[in-house]
Amino acid sequence: MILRTGNGEGSPNGWFAVMPVIAGDVMGVKTVTFYPGNGKLGLHTHMAVIELLNRATGEPLAVMDGRVITEMRTAAVSAVALDALGSPAVGSLGILGSGVQARSHVQALGMVRPGLRDIRIWSRTRAHAERLAAEVGGRATNIEEAAQADVVLTVTSSPVPVLEGRWLGLHSLVLAVGAVGAQLRELDDEVMQSSLIVSESRSCAERESGDLQLSGNEVDVEIGEIISGARPAPTNRRIVFKSVGMAIEDLTGARLVWQARSGQAHRQQ
């Protein structure tokens, strides 16, 4: 459930979402806010809290920093997609955006493809791209050069397309993570209509992604179908993996944190 916060006149508007989920022996709910104007205030644009509960009794187990888990699980999902869809020989990564998701993705993608050493970073603010490049061992560049990498990651909050299909290679893999919302998009029509579209969930992506809705495209295959072997991994073509984020990913991350914390407490006893 997503509610528009309807801030007072002159204030940057935002939204408030509630994401409940039940799986295995636990339940969880993430409350998350997104205020695009927070960056100018020195605040995070996304803030979140996750509550983890025992499924058998309803007992609350923990309250966690949902922002950190969101950063990690989003990048982890992209890493799974890269491992399933990307050639083992990919060597260059182009990043459009320079925020927290860009940072977390560099770490996660490097775990499945250590050969991604040519990291090209573009941001609307050149200084932000240069700062991130210095942190991760990449280089700030123009958007066309970033888009010509083997793997292109889009992590912006742009309401209009920033990635144009004419810049991409024939076999590019695009990991489209940002601009979640039915009226927002990062990819132009040429990107969407020339690519095989893969998503976490067909229903979620087609309901929540402006990249799909505004281009008139549908999801061709879910990533789970490829990982399970039900559908073959596509080869020799351009691919877009569109990620919108799912509550089960938050629950999985929170459960791992709880297990690690519980194990640590047990060892200390």
Q: What is the DSSP string of 124-151?
A: SSHHHHHHHHHHHT-EE--HHHHHTSSE
- C-alpha 109, offset from chain centre: 12
Asked if residue 122 and residue 36 are part of one domain, the reply reads: no
Tell whether 106 is covered by a domain. yes
In a domain, 181, yes or no: yes
**Same-domain pairing of 21 and 116:** no
Tally of domains in the chain: 2
Q: Average pLDDT, stretch 74-101?
A: 96
Asked if residue 228 has pLDDT above 90, the reply is yes
Would you state the pLDDT for residue 182?
Answer: 81
Q: Is residue 116 part of a domain?
A: yes
- Under the banding of pLDDT at 50, 70 and 90, the label for residue 26 is very high
What pLDDT is stored for residue 264 in this prediction?
65
Q: What Å distances lie between residue 229 and 77, 174, 233, 234, CA to CA?
A: 18, 21, 8, 12
pLDDT at 52: 98
How do residues 141-200 score in pLDDT, each as one tens digit?
A: 999 999 999 999 999 988 899 999 999 999 999 999 988 778 889 999 999 999 999 999
Q: Check pLDDT > 90 for residue 36.
A: no
Domain contains 64:
no
Rounded average pLDDT over 214-220: 95
Q: What percent of the chain has pLDDT over 90?
A: 80
The confidence score (pLDDT) of residue 11 equals: 60
Looking at the structure, tell me whether residues 175 and 106 fall in a common domain. Answer: yes
End-to-end CA distance of the chain: 41
> Using 50, 70 and 90 to split pLDDT, how confident is the model at 8?
low
Answer whether residue 16 is part of any domain.
yes
Mean pLDDT over the full length of the chain: 92
- The pLDDT assigned to 181 comes to 77
Its domain, for residue 8, covers: 2-58
Question: Both 178 and 200 in a single domain?
Answer: yes
Q: Are residues 80 and 202 in the same domain?
A: yes
Q: Are residues 112 and 240 in the same domain?
A: yes
pTM above 0.85, yes or no: yes
Regarding whether 213 and 114 lie in a shared domain, the answer is: yes
Taking only the tens place, the pLDDT of each residue in 122-140 is 999 999 999 999 999 999 9
pLDDT of 18 strictly over 80: yes
* Co-location of 20 and 79 in the same domain: no
Question: How much is the pLDDT for 39?
Answer: 79
- For the segment 241-263, the average pLDDT, to the nearest whole number, is 94
Examine the domain organization and report whether 139 and 243 are in the same domain: yes
Grade residue 15 by pLDDT with cuts at 50, 70 and 90.
confident
- At residue 268 the predicted structure's pLDDT band, cuts being 50, 70 and 90, is low
Q: Do residue 78 and residue 180 come from a single domain?
A: yes
Whether 212 and 153 map to the same domain: the answer is: yes
Task: Please check the confidence at residue 78 and state whether its pLDDT lies above 80.
Answer: yes
pLDDT at 267: 65
Specify the CATH number for the domain of residue 99: 3.40.50.720
